[in-house]
Amino acid sequence: MAWFLGLSNLFILGVAAYAAFLNASYPEFAYFTVQEDEFLEWATFWSFALASVVFFLSANRQYKSERRIPWFLAGVGLFCLVVAMEEISWGQRLLGYRPPVYFLEENFQQELNFHNVIATDFRKLALKIIIIGYGVILPIVALVGPVGELLRKIAVVAPSGWLVPSFALIAWIYQTYPWPYSGEWVEAMLAAGFLAAALESGNPTRVTLRGGLAVMMVIVLSTANVWLGRIQSGADIEKVQIAEAELDALQRDFLSGKVKTRCNRHKRLYTFMVEYRQPYLRAGEFAALQQNGMPTERADYLLDPWNSPYWLRDRCTRNAERKRVVYVYSFGPNRKRDSTAFEIGGDDVGVFVLDTR
C-alpha cells in the first residue's frame, strides 16, 4: 500500500509540474488543455466517477463487516459522484439538451450545474475546507490514539497520512492560483487524490493492482470521450445551416451600430448583453428569427441550435498597427471550442463582424 500511495503523490506532483511547465513554455497549449471536453476535463470526470464507485463499494463492505451505517464513506462517495456530474454539467454538452430557464439566467455558464449558481467566495471557501479538512487535517488527527479510536467508533474512515503532501500541494495551488485556469488543474489533481483515497479505503493487499487498473480505465475512457467529440465534427448539417442563418442575423445586429462591443472581450453573448447593457440583441434581427420558428428561450438567452451559448470574441492588439478582430461564433456540432483568438477553427460556426488585419 505504501508503494501505491507514494506513487500517487508522485503522480499528483507530476501533474502540478506539467501544468507549471506548460504555462511557462507553451501558454497556448496550456490554454487548449484546460478547455471543456478535452482530456483533462474527462480525466477529472472519470477519476471522480470511479472514486465514487469505489467509496460506495467500501461503504457496503464496511456495513457487512462491522454492521454499522457507513455514513462517512457513502457521503464521500456521493460527493465524488456529484462533483463528477457537475464537471460535465450533468451531460448537457454531451447530449445537447436545453437546461431549465433558471440555469440559463442565473448561471453565467448557462449550463446545468449548481456550483456556478453559488456565490464564488462561498464556493471557493467550501472547496478549501474540503481539501484541507478531508485531505490534511483528518488524516493527521486520525493518527492521535484516542481521536483515531473515536473516529473508528463513529464509522469515519480517514484517508492515509501518505496522501497529506498531495492534498497540501493542491490546497496551496488553489490558494495561490499560480497559473491561468489553475482551478482546472486543481480539480484534476483533487480527483486523483480522492481516487487514491478511495482505492486505499478498500482491501490494502490489492490496492496497487486496483490502482493500476483504475489509472488505465481513466486514460482509456477519457481518450475515448475526446475521440468521440472529434468525430462529431461535420455532423448535424441541418443544424449547421440553422446556426449560419442565425449568425448572419447576429452579424447584422452588430453592424447596425446599435450593439457596442469592447476590446479584448471573450464572453458568452448573453453574459455580454447583460453585463454591458446591450438590449438590442433581444430586439433585432436575431430576435426576429422567432417568427421563423426559433424557440423563444434560444432567442432570449442567445443559444445556438445545440443549446449551447453563442460567443463573442473581440481581440485587439497593442502594437502600432492596432489590428482588431471581432467575431461571433458557436461551438458547432461537437459542442467544444476549436477557435483561436483571431481565427474561427475546427467545426465552430462563426461570422466576422470586424477584421482589420
Read off the pLDDT of each residue in 212-228 and give the average, rounded to a whole number: 87
Q: What is the pLDDT of residues 161-190, one digit of tens each?
A: 999 999 999 999 999 999 999 999 999 999
Q: What is the pLDDT of residue 229?
A: 72
Select the more confidently predicted residue: 172 or 101. Answer: 172
pTM equals 0.83
| Residues 310-351 pLDDT 10s | 999 999 887 656 789 999 999 998 888 889 888 998 889 999
Residue ranges of domains in the chain: 2-231, 237-355
Left, alpha or beta for 295 (phi > 0: left; psi -120 to 50: alpha)? Answer: beta
Position 200 scores a pLDDT of 86
Quick: pLDDT tens for 236-288. Answer: 789 999 999 999 999 999 999 999 998 999 999 999 999 999 999 999 999 99
For residue 205, is pLDDT > 60? no
Confidence label for 234 from pLDDT (cuts 50, 70 and 90): low
The mean predicted confidence, pLDDT, of the chain is 90
